Amino acid sequence: MNAQSRSVTLIGAPLEEGSGRRGAAMGPAALRIAGVDQTLIELGHDVADIGDLRIVPAMDLPNHPKAHNLRIVGAFTRALESSVHDVAASGRFPLILGGDHSLSMGSVSGMARYAASKDRPLFVLWLDAHADFNSPATSPSGNIHGMPVAFFCGEAEFAEILPKDRPFVDPKNVFQVGIRSVDAREREEIHEHGVNVFDMRAIDEQGIGAIMREILDVVTKANGLLHVSLDLDFLDPEIAPGVGTTVPGGATFREAHLVMEMLSDSGLVSSLDLVELNPFLDDRGKSARILVELTASLFGRRIFDRPTRAA
Ligand SMILES: NC(=[NH2+])NCCC[C@H](N)C(=O)O
Ligand SMILES: [Mn+2]
Ligand SMILES: [Mn+2]
């Protein structure tokens, strides 16, 4: 059923301090209860679960007035940067169970360091209602989960969270899909840095299939690695209510699965974040199960192996 059998390492990141509310720290537990490990095993993959990262606040970092809980988010950033890098370097696929979206400061930075060691460019597919390109200077909320893209592109320094010589992601290698909520200053920043944005209107007009083909083509030609960061609010809140920052008019169930199926066919994906699941807001585990089902599509589950009709 699955084209490729992979060795996957699950890394739990019970982080909620980057968002403006509590609950996302229960995300890793809900994803495990929804059967993320068993689902991957049934698809023929080798799965190791290293459990949840445990941190103590990084007291060398300042209490930043415009980046809330920086000492906790910074500690998770460091822990994830090194564990994601090490898992990738050992030849395994890091699958990060979140946790709010600030965790991508660590996961993507870890993959950026791994890609640099292989002399390959890192691309990021950011599936989200939000661009998450704020910085402490531009953020209207001070919530760090609105800042990870600017951080891993080297455009938002909060303090010395990671070594100064860390490799950054080129903003032109970031593809944002599903966007429908952007702050005023953030809009200018994205434009200025050349982030590739496919907003909901682009999905409506061009279709998600054409957009994915375009993105996968670029990554293939560059021989890149592709990190996928899936924010639950990419999906329409009608189908995925378990998230703190719902925005109406999101991707449909089938649009999201087609993204995952095309990613799976491409064989280009190196790593995955599942973020912003807030089980406290969910409807009887519905959103957790959807994230697990989407993960299954990314790892080879199909309705049929194509083609389904004789030539
Ligand atoms: N990962 C997320 N849910 N981000 C939401 C960000 C919302 C808003 N743009 C902010 O900076 O506060
Ligand atoms: Mn996000
Ligand atoms: Mn979001």
Residue predicted with more confidence, 4 or 190: 190
Beta partners for residue 186, in sequence order: none
Residue 171 lies in a domain: yes
Which residue lies with its CA nearest to atom 9 of ligand 1?
146
Q: 60-92 in b/e burial notation, b at 16+ Cβ within 10 A?
A: ebeebebbbbbbbbbbbbbbbbbbbbebbeeeb
Q: Please give the ipTM for the structure prediction.
A: 0.97
Least confident of 102-111, 157-166, 266-275: 157-166
Which residue lies with its CA nearest to atom 6 of ligand 1?
146
* pTM of this prediction exceeds 0.90: yes
How does DSSP assign 279-299, residue by residue? GGGSSTTHHHHHHHHHHHHHT
pLDDT, average across residues 282-300: 98
CA 180–ligand 2 middle distance (angstroms)? 11
Three-class DSSP category at 225? strand
Q: Is the CB of 180 under 6 A from ligand 1?
A: no
Amino acid at 217: D
Residue 310 lies in a domain: no
Catalytic, 128? Answer yes
> What's the mean pLDDT when you consider all of the chain?
96
How does DSSP assign 18-69, residue by residue? TSSSS-GGGHHHHHHHTTHHHHHHHTT-EEEEEEE------TTS---TTSTT
CATH number where 191 lies: 3.40.800.10
Catalytic, 85? Answer no
Catalytic residue among 16, 52, 81, 233: 233
Given this model, what pLDDT does residue 308 score?
Answer: 66
pLDDT for 206-241, tens place per residue?
999 999 999 999 999 999 999 999 999 999 999 999
State percent of the chain over pLDDT 90: 95
pLDDT for 242-269, tens place per residue?
999 999 999 999 999 999 999 999 999 9
Given this model, what pLDDT does residue 158 score?
Answer: 87
Catalytic residue among 52, 186, 231, 255: 231
Given this model, what pLDDT does residue 2 score?
Answer: 46
Q: Is the CB of 130 under 6 A from ligand 1?
A: yes
Give the separation between CA 176 and CA 126, rounded to whole angstroms: 5
Is the confidence at residue 129, as pLDDT, over 90? yes
Closest by alpha carbon to 219, among 207, 227, 209?
227
Domain that includes residue 160, residue range: 5-297
Residue 306 lies in a domain: no
Which residue lies with its CA nearest to atom 10 of ligand 1?
146
Four-CA torsion 277, 278, 282, 286, nearest 10 degrees: 20
Is the confidence at residue 301, as pLDDT, over 50? yes
CA 232–ligand 2 middle distance (angstroms)? 8
Q: How many domains does the chain have?
A: 1
pLDDT, average across residues 22-50: 98
Residue 184 lies in a domain: yes
CA 181–ligand 3 middle distance (angstroms)? 8
Q: Is the CB of 134 under 6 A from ligand 1?
A: yes
Is the confidence at residue 120, as pLDDT, over 50? yes
